[in-house]
Amino acid sequence: MSLQTPIPQTPAPALPAGVSNPALGLKKRSTLTSLLEFGIIHEQSDLEAAFGLVYESYIRAGLTDANETGIRLTPFHLLPTTEVFSARYEGNTVSTVSLIGDGYLGLPMEGIYSKEIKQLRDRGCRMAEIGCLADRRNSPVRFIELFATMGRMLARVAKVRGYDGLVAAVHPRHARLYQRILPFEQIGEVIECPYANGNPAVMVQLVFDDHLGSSLYERFFGVMASGFDTTLRHWSKETREYFKGHLQTDQERKDQQVSGQLAFAALTGQYVSRVEV
């Protein structure tokens, strides 16, 4: 499901001095973000670091409960229409955000804003949803510039993929940041979000063609955004199965094991000596 986007509160850890090889496709930006490398990630280790950062950030913001895996992802992450972005400093993930395209399961936020999403579809708009935003640093100034860079990257990738705009479900006080930096417009009423521990959420949207010919459009899709690598990077089957396992509960894993053992017995006539439950 879609999650509200918290303003990052995770304290910055000490980063190692050595620079590791950047993930494929990561690009350096300018000014305060000049030392950060941005890109679409698909390797299991990079994804695990990103989902771990989301978990830490959401725990601190009170948006999720603790779990045994120490990572936070959604079933939508297993779909080919979802992509994960990362900002890294010297090989360490300092920020992440996910782009969830309207596809097989629709959009996560339809669970609370179905009418508003339907209205966009009725306009002929195919949207992508922003979710799972997390940042490791304390500095509001650094986060705002990073958020602006991430926003341009998300918008450009969404447009290349054929989407007409972006939507997000965010905390009402964070909606102002989306409106000022990107900018989005607030749609719909404030709703208690059942999958963010009951925290309030409001829908924001940005339809690209509503800004055609404006400086905003140029900033998102012109020269300033042209340096982003938008190459689609698919997860491997092994990576997808690995994270699928993280979404299962202990009981589901046990049930799956029992089902597999019984299916083996039905096919071969051979029974295992003991079925664990």
Is 58 in a helix, a strand, or coil? helix
Quick one: which of 103, 117, 97 has its CA closest to 39? 97
Give the per-residue pLDDT at 196.
66
Low-confidence ranges of the chain (pLDDT < 70): 1-34, 138, 194-197, 223-226, 249-277
pLDDT at 193: 73
- Strand order across the 92-101 sheet: 27-28, 37-41, 82-89, 92-101, 127-135, 165-170, 200-207, 185-192
- Which alpha helices (H) appear in the chain, and where do they start and end? 44-61, 110-122, 140-160, 172-181, 215-221, 237-247, 250-268
pLDDT score, position 182? 82
Q: What does each C-alpha distance from 219 to 141, 156, 261 come to in angstroms?
A: 20, 10, 57
pLDDT of residue 228: 81
Give residue-wise pLDDT tens across range 246-255: 887 644 555 5
Task: Note the pLDDT of residue 23.
Answer: 39
**What distance in Å separates the CA atoms of residue 95 and residue 206, rounded to the nearest whole number?**
22
Domains and CATH numbers, the chain: 27-235 (3.40.630.30), 237-277 (no CATH)
pLDDT of residue 194: 67
Dihedral, CA of residue 222, residue 226, residue 229 and residue 230, to nearest 10:
20
